[in-house]
Chain A
Amino acid sequence: MVEAFILSTVEQGVMTITLNRPDRLNSFNDLMHQQLAECLTQAERDDSVRCLLITGAGRGFCAGQDLNDRNVDPSGPAPDLGLSVERFYNPLVRRLAALPKPVIAAVNGVAAGAGATLALGCDIVLAARSASFVMAFSRLGLVPDCGGSWFLPRVAGRARAMGLALLGEKLSAEQAAQWGMIWQLVEDAELADVSLQLARHLAAQPTFGLGLIKQALLAAETNGLDAQLDLERDYQRMAGRSADYREGVSAFLAKRPPQFSGK
């Protein structure tokens, strides 16, 4: 019997992924990474999945890499941490970014290390009032991974990103919300409901168009204005050919609510 470190359900277009090692604050080990990768494969292939919701079981969201799972014998040879970054974290970040569907993080408790950078890299981040983000890397002599060094300056600005990453201090969800690093702060008891409601809403929207919006905003991080204008032309051209655009226009003209298929 293999332990289920990732729980996943698909309902009403929403794939809910629950990081499930509550006794270890849902920190990652190799098996958990593999199970998460399998869920992502399903999310990528299954057109009926139109929104991803990631949350944690128990009191934490995710404490990043489980240090017990790494070679940390101080007298042994130096471990190759780049290996697990290359094998697990980088593909995870790349796949979430490339997924043409919205990805919501519902940060239910502490998000530390790769857990924090994973959460902040999601498309929409909701956090419980008692949740917190800890860039724990610097305290161990490490560097923010799981996209952290790319996402942090973009969600927090350079000054705050530097402070957070160099000091490794705990950032309350409230402060993160005030700084505009996350979408919404929610009372603890309401997080599950509010995030699921949001996910269900997004899952009923024009998914193809949402996917293009997501790719456009990501591309804007590296494009100049000229290139981005070309990209907007191309994406609008594709969006204009989607079934959902037709449906949206027909529904508007007929004054009825649209029924989007996601195509």
Chain B
Amino acid sequence: MSELLITRHERVLHLTLNRPQARNALNNALLMQLAEALEAAAADPEISACVISGGQRVFAAGADLNEMAEKDLPATFDDIRPRLWARIDAFPKPLIAAVNGYALGAGCELALLCDLVVAGDNARFGVPEITLGIMPGAGGTQRLIRCVGKALASRMVLSGEAIDARRAQQAGLVSDIYPPALTDEYALKLAATIARHSPLALRAAKQALRQSQEVGLQAGLQQERQLFTLLSATEDRREGIDAFLQKRTPQFKGR
């Protein structure tokens, strides 16, 4: 049985972390498979969005501590993991995390890297690295503070304590909460809704949202306008507006 299950639901790719014996710990091999699956999906015009989930009980409970423990300073300096994370982060299409149960350490960082997080009401988010004498190393201090603010991010990073789904939703980490038995289903439904839109518009909108974290407001507004202008040259834009005016469902072609 593969450690990453890959299924297709029309234009949505569903990736399921499947290392139950290790509570879906994200070792290098699994991160590599994730990166490869996403790169293949990025190149596949038939795929518009992707959902990553981990099953009903645990999303991913961290990195693989055995792998990490073996690395001294020079080895950590040359670690392949930052490159793996960068490959995952480079996925240009909408990426949804469907989180049931624990999303801790690298698991939490994976969820934070996604564009959207929906959660089961049993979900718990945390970065407990500090309790191991280390700290988050894949965005845990950076993406967390940008989405939940300084107070809660500092509390989570410095105490190592996790928060539940409700708190994560109030803080802005999670968009929707569902019963765990339905989380994957609703995440796929949301992905299907997203996947109905123009692939080019989705990529442009995602890029604009991402850039808001990189540059100041004025530069961000400029980039947004450029992307907006780019879309005006697409067939899909004409189709989208025509379909709306003619009260029919648009047929987007990704052109």
Listed in ascending order, the chain A residues whose CB lies under 8 Å from chain B are 234-235, 237-238
CA distance A28 to B245 in the complex (A): 71
User: Looking across the interface, which residue of chain B has its beta carbon closest to that of A241?
Assistant: B181
Select from chain B the residue with minimum beta-carbon distance to A227: B177
- Chain B, range 165-202, C-beta contacts under 8 Å to A: 178-179, 181-182
The 4 A-B residue pairs whose C-beta atoms are closest, nearest first, are: A234-B179, A238-B181, A234-B182, A234-B178
Listed by A's residue number, 8 A-B pairs whose Cβ atoms lie within 8 Å are A234-B178, A234-B179, A234-B182, A235-B179, A237-B182, A238-B179, A238-B181, A238-B182
In the assembled complex, which residues on chain B have CB atoms less than 8 Å from the CB atom of A237? 182
Provide the bound-state CA to CA distance between A123 and B181, in Å: 24
| Nearest CB of chain A from residue B170's CB, rounded to whole Å | 13
Chain A facing B: main interface SS:
helix
B179 contact set on A, CB distance < 8 A: 234-235, 238
A254 to chain B, nearest CB (A): 28
- In the bound complex, residues from chain B placing their C-beta under 8 Å from that of A235 are 179
Q: What is the chain B residue whose CB lies nearest that of A215?
A: B179
CA separation between A8 and B178, bound complex, in Å?
35
Q: What's the Cα separation between A235 and B179 when bound, in Å?
A: 8
Least Cβ distance of B156 to chain A in Å? 21
Chain A residues within 8 Å of B181, by CB: 238
Q: What's the nearest-Cβ distance from chain B to residue A170, in Å?
A: 38
Query: Please, how many angstroms separate the alpha-carbon atoms of A234 and B179 in the complex?
Result: 7
CB contacts (< 8 Å) of B182 on chain A: these are: 234, 237-238
CA of A234 to CA of B186 in the docked complex: distance in angstroms? 10
Q: What's the nearest-Cβ distance from chain A to residue B77, in Å?
A: 44
Quick one: closest A residue to B166, CB to CB?
A: A222
CB neighbours of A238 from chain B (8 A): 179, 181-182
Further contacts, 5 of them, CB under 8 A, given A238-B181, A238-B182: A234-B178, A234-B182, A235-B179, A237-B182, A238-B179
Residues of B within 8 A of A234 (CB): 178-179, 182
A254 to B178 Cα, complex, angstroms: 35
Report how far A127 CA is from B194 CA in the complex, Å. Answer: 55
Residue of B with least CB distance to A222:
B166
Q: How far is the CB of B91 from chain A (nearest CB, A)?
A: 29
| B179 to A, closest residue via Cβ | A234
Whole-angstrom distance from the CB of A239 to the nearest CB of chain B?
11
Give min CB distance, A116 to chain B, whole Å.
29
Q: Please, which residues of chain A bring their CB within 8 A of the CB of B178?
A: 234
Cα distance A238–B181 in the bound complex, in angstroms:
8
A201, B144: Cα distance in complex, Å: 50
A97 to chain B, nearest CB (A): 14
Considering only CB atoms, which chain B residue lies closest to A230 in the complex?
B178
Q: How far is the CB of A168 from chain B (nearest CB, A)?
A: 34
Minimum distance in angstroms from A23 CB to a CB of chain B: 41
Nearest Cβ distance between residue A217 and chain B, in whole angstroms? 15
Beta-carbon nearest neighbor of B185 in chain A: A237
Nearest-neighbour CB distance to chain B for A73, whole angstroms, equals 34
Q: State the CA gap A235–B181 with chains docked (Å).
A: 10
Q: What residue of chain A has the Cβ atom nearest to residue B186's Cβ?
A: A234
Shortest CB-to-CB span from B184 to chain A, Å, is: 13
Docked Cα-Cα span, A255 to B149, in Å, equals 60
Q: Tell me the residues in window 206-242 of chain B with beta carbons closer than 8 Å to chain A beta carbons.
A: none
Minimum CB distance partner of A219 in chain B: B121
CB-nearest residue of chain A to B178:
A234
Determine the distance from Cα of A166 to Cα of B23 in the docked complex, in whole angstroms.
Answer: 49
CA of A238 to CA of B178, assembled, Å: 11
Closest residue of chain B to A212 (Cβ to Cβ) is B179
A171 to chain B, nearest CB (A): 34
Chain A nearest Cβ from B84, distance in angstroms: 36
Taken together as a complex, chains A and B put the C-alpha atoms of A237 and B181 apart, in Å, by 10
From residue B163, how far is it (CB to closest CB) to chain A in Å? 17
Question: Roughly how many angstroms separate A234 CA and B178 CA in the complex, as a whole number?
Answer: 8
Could you tell me which residues of chain B, from 47 to 88, have a CB within 8 Å of some CB in chain A? none
How many angstroms between the C-alpha atoms of A234 and B189 in the bound complex? 14
Q: How far is the CB of A214 from chain B (nearest CB, A)?
A: 14
Rounded to whole angstroms, the CA-CA distance of A235 and B121 in the bound complex is 13
